[in-house]
Amino acid sequence: MKHFITKPKQWYLQAAILWALLRVCVSAQAGEPFRFALLTDIHIDINAPGPTQDLRNSVDQINASDSIDFILVTGDIADKGDGASLRLAKQELDRLQRPYYIVQGNHDQKWSESGCMDFKRIFGYERFKFEHRGYLFLGFPSGPLMRMALGHVAPEDIEWLKEELRHNGFDKPVFLVSHMPMLPEDVDNCFDVTDAVRSFPVQAFLNGHYHRNRFETYDGIPGFVNITNLRQKGRTAGQYNEYDVTADSLIAYTHPVGLPRYRWAAIALGQRLGPAAAATSPLRPDFSVNEAYPMVKETWQVALRAGIYSSPAIDKQRIVVADNLGRITCFGHQGRQRWQYTTGARIIGTPAIGRGVVVAGSADGFIYGLDARQGTLRWKVRTQRPVVSAVTIRGGIAYVGSGDHIFRAIRVKDGTILWSRQGIRGYVETRPLVNRRMVVFGDWANTVYALRRKDGNPLWEWTTGRQNMHYSPAGVWPVEAHQKVFVVDPRRVLTAIDARDGHEIYATKQSVVRESIGISKDRKRIYAKTMRDSVVCYSALDNHPRQLWACHVGFGYEHATVMLPEKDGVVFSSTKNGLIFAIEAKTGRLLWKHKVSNTLVNTVVPLSRNIVLYTDEDGFLGKLSINNNH
């Protein structure tokens, strides 16, 4: 008996055969050998010719080879994150005669006068994806974004990874590209990344950051950490890495400029980790500290699904937060959303609420004034560059810095610029200190400025005396008491400055502080977080450093830029690894600590001694309540 195939069935059979052939072709194609180069940690500085020459030499050597298909550039492009250096880097990279794909590093993201917008404008993207000979390459940023903390992959970037991998499926092998190694000492949510990708055919991570070659394993996934392009000691040129993809292996070589390449690592390809390997991973954070302080409860928590790098702004009726997607969102004090307004780019600085208006600066170059009740736009002020500064409102006037080197005083009611002060040498990210007489703020050019509050005229300037911008007193929110302005900075120095004329009263390294400070309500005590385990308290009355107490909190190594607000006789602060803690202000006695996440918790906002609001880099707004009768 003959069997006839009808046309629909015949079409289906042909499609099935074609699909099978395509899969075979893809598998065969993924086995075709190819080679790519990897440049990392090039650290271009517009004022330093050495790194540019090293990059130029590497580009010339890569161009002279006919065996390299493309180039990966894995971060720390500009040493100071500035637009001029990024443009110079692009000028050199554009000489490459084959395609290149680039991601940001911590230097590009932490110290960025543009809130990382220059990188996107210059290179055209912040993530990349492409396919080559049966392999998918995905590149993404790994932080930290504009804050001193560990690296962090933003929640929106993890969602992007998941979506791209789901779309790719389970047959095509994948390489993941970022600057930071996916290790707990480098990326605080590395386990979120490895959990998100482990079920897919990820062959390896390709990274930079360490300035030397290292082979690592990230939660069971191979990781290649690559050597910097900068020349090594005693050499006159730099080096880069090359990767040979064969039918069954990935082989890593270092190729010094002018010398033969040498092999340093290799893995077998075609392996899949699978979800079961996560069970005994040491990467997961430890929340057992919460068992020791059961009086602390997480009352509510809201996920915004985008990174948050600023503190909540509050008044009696509402809580306002801003995020990496440029959204300003208003909540009631029970955590229910009331409204949301979207600006044109990410928001880094902490907003402020005053006279019924929410004021926030955006990396789109505008300062926004929104109706606090309805979330509608009342006004916006155009600046010439992205705004990453926090806002202070006092007496119906908003004080805010900008990336265009201008500091502004804006009437909250209608957005009128009352005065502006040009000539600020670096960009401003801090929350300005405002008192009756003056406005005080630091910048990323090693300077603290005091402007007359009524007209913005200069009163004085104080500088660290350093040339390197990385040590600037720019992240700290200055405090003031008894004719003294207090700042701490990355030099690990606590400095008291005369508020009348700007001369330095004292500078002490007695405690290893960094960029975290606070002041008591009675203006008698200064609080500072050290870089190892402790919080210290100094007298604000004396003209010499006098320590009153030190509290061992036990948070380990710490360098997050968060302040220490006091409320009702309690000092609060937080860490880079999700710990919030409270200390009795007069005695230094530790009251409690509670871990809410494993990432940077921004400066917390205590509503009373028993209620604390917080935001974190994972995109959560939350409220803690403390039952002292527990």
Place of tokens 């062959």: 203
CA-based nearest residue to 365, from 111, 84, 117, 83? 117
- Whether residue 595 contacts residue 287, with contact meaning beta carbons closer than 8 Å, is answered with yes
- Whether residue 240 contacts residue 262, with contact meaning beta carbons closer than 8 Å, is answered with no
Tell me the fold of 312-470.
Answer: Methylamine Dehydrogenase; Chain H (2.130.10)
Predicted confidence (pLDDT) per residue in 300-328, tens digit: 999 999 999 999 999 999 999 999 999 99
pLDDT of residue 9: 37
Predicted confidence (pLDDT) per residue in 540-558, tens digit: 999 999 999 999 999 999 9
pLDDT of residue 629: 76
Identify the burial level of 320 via C-beta atoms within 10 angstroms of its C-beta, where 0-12 means exposed, 13-18 middle and 19 or more buried: buried
Q: Is the pLDDT of residue 428 over 90?
A: yes
Tell me the fold of 30-278.
Answer: Purple Acid Phosphatase; chain A, domain 2 (3.60.21)
- What are the residue boundaries of the structural domains of the chain, listed by start? 30-278, 292-311+478-630, 312-470
| Strands (DSSP E) found in 40-148 | 71-74, 100-103, 128-132, 135-139
pLDDT of residue 271: 76
Lowest mean pLDDT among 8-12, 68-72, 472-476: 8-12
Q: Count of CB atoms within 10 A of residue 9's CB? A: 10
pLDDT band, very low/low/confident/very high, at 284 (cuts 50, 70, 90): confident
Predicted confidence (pLDDT) per residue in 384-409, tens digit: 999 999 999 999 999 999 999 999 99
Q: Is the pLDDT of residue 276 over 70?
A: no
Place of tokens 């937080």: 574
| Mean pLDDT value across residues 29-41 | 88
| Mean pLDDT value across residues 508-526 | 98
Which H or E run contains 249? strand 249-256
Q: Is the pLDDT of residue 27 over 50?
A: no
pLDDT of residue 99: 99
Q: Is the pLDDT of residue 418 over 80?
A: yes
pLDDT of residue 21: 38
Report the first-to-last Cα separation within the chain, whole angstroms: 85
| Percent of the chain's residues with pLDDT above 70 | 93
Domain 292-311+478-630 sits in CATH at 2.130.10.10
CA-based nearest residue to 551, from 524, 511, 519? 511
Q: Do domains 292-311+478-630 and 312-470 have the same CATH topology?
A: yes
Rounded-to-integer distance, Cα 250 and Cα 270, Å: 10
SS (H, E, C) 461-507: EEECCCCCHHHCCCCCCCEEECCEEEEEECCCEEEEEECCCCCEEEE
Lowest mean pLDDT among 133-147, 281-295, 356-370, 496-510: 281-295
Q: Is the pLDDT of residue 20 over 80?
A: no
pLDDT of residue 628: 82
- Whether residue 206 contacts residue 215, with contact meaning beta carbons closer than 8 Å, is answered with no
| Mean pLDDT value across residues 427-439 | 98
pLDDT of residue 3: 33
Query: What is the rounded radius of gyration, in angstroms, for the C-alpha atoms of the chain?
Result: 26
pLDDT of residue 630: 64
Q: Is the pLDDT of residue 67 over 80?
A: yes
Rounded-to-integer distance, Cα 400 and Cα 498, Å: 23
pLDDT band, very low/low/confident/very high, at 281 (cuts 50, 70, 90): low
Buried residues in 383-394 as b, exposed as e (16+ CB within 10 A) = bebbbbbbbbbb
